Every structure is written in structure tokens, then in C-alpha cells.
Amino acid sequence: MLIQATLTAFGLISSTLGSQHQPRRRCAYGDECWPDTETWNSFNATVGGRLIRSVPSAAVCHAERYDSDKCATAKDSWLDSFWRTNQTGAYAATLWEMGETGKCFIDTPIDAPCDQGIDYLRSLGRSSGKGAFSIWTHNLKGIEWHDSFIPMGAPEDANGVPAVTLQAGEQWFDVYRAAAKQNALVVGGSARTVGAAGGYLLGGGHSPFAHDYGLAVDNPGYFWAVRGGGGSAWGIVTSVTYKTHPVPKNLIMGFVQLNASDNSSLTHLLSESIKLFPNVTDAGYTGYGDLSQGFQAIFLKPNSSVKSFNQTFAGFFNLTQIPGVHGAVGAYPSTWNGYLDKFLRDPNIGTNIQDTSRLLTTDVINQKSEDLAEFLVRNGGGGFNFIGKVNNDERDNTAVNGIWKQSHALMSISIDWADNATELEKHEKRLHAVQISKGFTEIVGQQGGTYINEANP
């Protein structure tokens, strides 16, 4: 899927190692070596006033930064993903807004995106993390289409492929709109404002088309390079080139809307639904689901038919025979653009939410579906961040957990809390999330994989 990434290395080795006998720590905000205001002002003048002091998104409603008009805008826009991605101090999930982030950012111009900032970084010896001086690539925009693209360093007899080069600041919402005008398919995620060259790519990237085209991780050479010790750990992705594909002739959209009247019928419904995943995903369907009050999910498959859906989902149709279960299962022909218009969203924006999740293998589904169903009901439900059998052609040569090769779904349970929750309440919620993570492990085993790091701080 991924063809080529353009990177700019920080060149931090000389500034971070120091003497072999007297290694020095990196300079961070608050240290005496951190640049003073006069130095920052001088540097700001050399970059056209593009330095940004990063503060949390709600800072305009507090203390010395209070501004009544800006505060009103923040309150009105709190759940707006586009508003959040347009500032350095806002995150999709507010849980991370006061975390280990950069203290100062430089906005990148399209004509010289990172050069001056990187020169300055060499003197500080920092790339990302707490107190860092960071490069903000959000405004580095640009989309270039290629009829026949050949990556740098390819063999002389290599054949070109259709492709698109995306600058680092492009987000999937805009990429998909541009692709529609080109009648091209760019394989990406189901969240509108995630960066096509950033969060999706550096996070490994699963997609509605993962069954056919795999994960964003599936480029052995470049993923190992750009990932390193984490996104932006040693360099900056300034652009990425994706292979493009023909737009499907049609897209079958399926839905399962099954509710349960009590916990007993809900447990039975969830258990039987999970057992059906291998058949559905092996047939090429991908989807996303919610398990709060029953089993509600959408599924899609390119170049298929309603008849094929009905045959594949026969087991789901039969679930309405479970006592206490009612609802509907069906499908209709659509298009990729129709899917984007109706279902492309940004979930959990501006909320305090902490996820735990596990990939479900064939063995886990066959042997542990009842345990998983009881676990879900006991913890108030959950969801599926992804349902599908991913194309595994390149999987052995990448950094992704090998458990993906055997998996049919990514099940998650989320813990959330109110904005006005006390510190004790938030602490108890986080402890509960840890217990849920441990509960997942007890069911799926120590070797079970997850999409998000669940290391307990």
C-alpha cells in the first residue's frame, strides 16, 4: 500500500551523545540551558514569526489567558474535531491534553517546511516529548497525483504505478474528497481528521479496505524507518506516497441491528454474534460495531451483491430466534463516496475516554466467545474498533504484531468520566481500566495483541 515516505532527519547524534566519558542529558523546558525569551524572540524573527507557544485547548477560559470571546468559541467547538486539529494544544481525546507534549512549536511553510526548525533543534538536542521544541506539520498541505510513479532507488526496469503524494498536513477528509474528483481509491482510515501521513501511517493504520490491501504498516523498508522509536522520534515525515487503486464498481453496505431485552438474552446474542466473525471476515467483509445494548454494526464489501451478503450473514438473520432478541439485518448497494458521506466520522472527540482492547483470533472466538460475552455484559458493553480479516501478504516482514495474521476483530471496552470528575473519581476510573485490561488478558491469553499500548503508568 505505502510506496515511499520523504523524511528529514534531525541529525541529533552529535548534540545528544557528547563526550564518550561524560554523556549529557538533553535540554528540556525548565532547565538553565533552555533558550530564554530573548533567544526565542530572535529565532522567531528568523522564521517569519511562526513560533507557537503550545497551551491546552481550554487555556483561553482560565487565569491570565482568559478571553471571553475565545472561551465562548472553545466551548461551542469543544466536540469539533476540525477545531481541535487546527491548534497544537488540542487532542481528539482530552485525556492526553495535559500530557508529555512539546512546549514550543514552529509552524511549517510549504516552501521550506522544516529546515530552519531542524537547524535549531540540533542545538537543543530534542525531537519530541515533554518540553520539546516541535515541528508542526499541520499546515504543510499538498496533494499530487501520478499516473506512473516509480520510487527512488527502484530497479531500472521497475514499472510505474498510479499513486498520490500527500504532504504531511493532509487529513483523510480532504484526501478522500480529492480522490473522488480523480476517480481513484486511496486506502486510508475511517476517521476524518486523522493525518494521512501522520497518525494513520505511523500508527500502523487499519482501513475498511484492509482485507484487500492490508495495513499501512505493510511496507517493510519504510515502516521500520519512519516508525523508529515512535512517531517523530528521530525524523519528520514531510510527505508520503500511496499507491492508488480503482474505485470499486459498487460497495455493499450491510447492517446488523439486534437488541436484547435483558442481560441473559444479551449475553447469548453477543456470544453467538462473535462466533460468526470468521465466516463473515473470511468472505471479505469489514466493519465496525457497538455492543452496548445488543449488537449494532455496519459492514461493507466492494464489488459484491445483496444476494452474497444474505448468504454470508445467514447466521445473523437466525439470531432473531433467540428469546428476547429483536431487530433487523439487511444490506443495500452503495458506493465508496456514499460510505464516506454517511459514515466517515471522528469518534469520541473532546471526551475523557480510556480504551482497552484485544485482537480476537480464530481460537479465541471458537473457545472463548461465551467468556467474552459475559465479560462485555459485566462491564457495561463495548465495541469493535475494527472487524475484518486483514490481507497478510507482507506481514512477516513488518513490525506489526504477528497476531494480526490470525485475527478477525479488535474488541474494545472504554472507560470514561465527566469533565468535572474529582481526582479520586478519575483515579478509580483508570484503575478500573487496568482491571479490564487484565480481564481481557485472562480470556485471550498473554500472547493476545492490541492496537494501542496499554502499558500501565
The CA distance from 187 to 208, in Å, is: 8
Summarize the confidence of residues 413-441 as an average pLDDT: 93
Q: Which of 311, 330, 309, 327 is nearest to 319 (CA)?
A: 327
- Most trustworthy range by pLDDT among 47-61, 196-210, 334-348: 334-348
SS3 262: coil
**Fold of the CATH domain 1-54+89-247:** 3.30.465
Quick check: 238 and 137 in contact, CB under 8 A? Answer: yes
Provide the pLDDT for residue 10: 42
The 10s digit of each residue's pLDDT in 206-226 is 999 999 998 888 877 666 666
Work out the pLDDT band at 202, boundaries 50, 70, 90.
confident
Q: Which of 366, 408, 391, 368 is nearest to 281 (CA)?
A: 408
| Phi, psi dihedrals of residue 172, rounded to the nearest 5° | -60, -35
The CA distance from 168 to 141, in Å, is: 7
32: DSSP letter = T
| Phi, psi dihedrals of residue 416, rounded to the nearest 5° | -135, 170
**Is the pLDDT assigned to residue 377 strictly greater than 90?**
yes
60: DSSP letter = G
Q: How far is CA 363 from CA 138, 277, 278, 288, 441, in A?
A: 42, 12, 10, 21, 14
Contacts of 73 (CB under 8 A, 6+ apart): 60
Summarize the confidence of residues 169-191 as an average pLDDT: 95
The 10s digit of each residue's pLDDT in 244-303 is 999 999 999 999 999 999 999 999 999 999 999 999 999 999 999 999 889 999 999 999
Provide the pLDDT for residue 4: 61
Work out the pLDDT band at 53, boundaries 50, 70, 90.
confident
The 10s digit of each residue's pLDDT in 55-85 is 888 889 998 899 999 999 999 999 999 999 9
- Alpha-carbon dihedral 426, 452, 198, 183, rounded to 10 degrees: -120
Provide the pLDDT for residue 269: 98
Per-residue b or e along 138-168, where b marks 16 or more CB atoms closer than 10 Å to that residue's CB:
bebeebeebeebbbeeeeeeeeebbbbbbbb
Summarize the confidence of residues 152-166 as an average pLDDT: 94
Work out the pLDDT band at 327, boundaries 50, 70, 90.
very high
- For the chain, the farthest-separated pair of C-alpha atoms sits apart, in whole angstroms, at 74
Provide the pLDDT for residue 157: 93
The CA distance from 253 to 64, in Å, is: 51
Q: Which three cell numbers stand for residue 63?
A: 487565569
Work out the pLDDT band at 3, boundaries 50, 70, 90.
low
The CA distance from 205 to 192, in Å, is: 13
Summarize the confidence of residues 153-160 as an average pLDDT: 92
Q: How far is CA 77 from CA 70, 95, 269, 318, 416, in A?
A: 10, 17, 38, 44, 20
Summarize the confidence of residues 435-452 as an average pLDDT: 89
Provide the pLDDT for residue 12: 35
Q: Which of 12, 38, 26, 29 is nearest to 120 (CA)?
A: 12
Q: In what order do the strands lie in the sheet with 352-361?
A: 325-334, 251-260, 294-302, 286-290, 383-387, 407-417, 352-361
Q: Which of 177, 42, 50, 21 is nearest to 113 (CA)?
A: 50
Q: Which of 169, 152, 180 is nearest to 86 (CA)?
A: 169
CATH code of domain 251-444: 3.40.462.20
Percentage of the residues of the chain whose pLDDT score is greater than 90: 56
Summarize the confidence of residues 30-40 as an average pLDDT: 83
Summarize the confidence of residues 105-121 as an average pLDDT: 59
Work out the pLDDT band at 48, boundaries 50, 70, 90.
confident
* Cα angle 145, 146, 152; round to 5: 120
Provide the pLDDT for residue 114: 54
Provide the pLDDT for residue 14: 34
Half-sphere exposure of 443 (CA within 13 A, CB side): 25
Q: Which of 382, 368, 393, 443 is nearest to 416 (CA)?
A: 382
Amino acid identity of 10?
F
Half-sphere exposure of 97 (CA within 13 A, CB side): 23
Q: In what order do the strands lie in the sheet with 133-136?
A: 51-53, 104-107, 133-136
Provide the pLDDT for residue 17: 38
Q: Which three cell numbers stand for residue 64?
A: 491570565
Q: What's the chain's average pLDDT? A: 85
All structural domains of the chain with their residue ranges: 1-54+89-247, 251-444
Quick check: 216 and 208 in contact, CB under 8 A? Answer: no
The CA distance from 380 to 270, in Å, is: 13
Provide the pLDDT for residue 123: 53
pLDDT, greater one: 388 or 404: 388
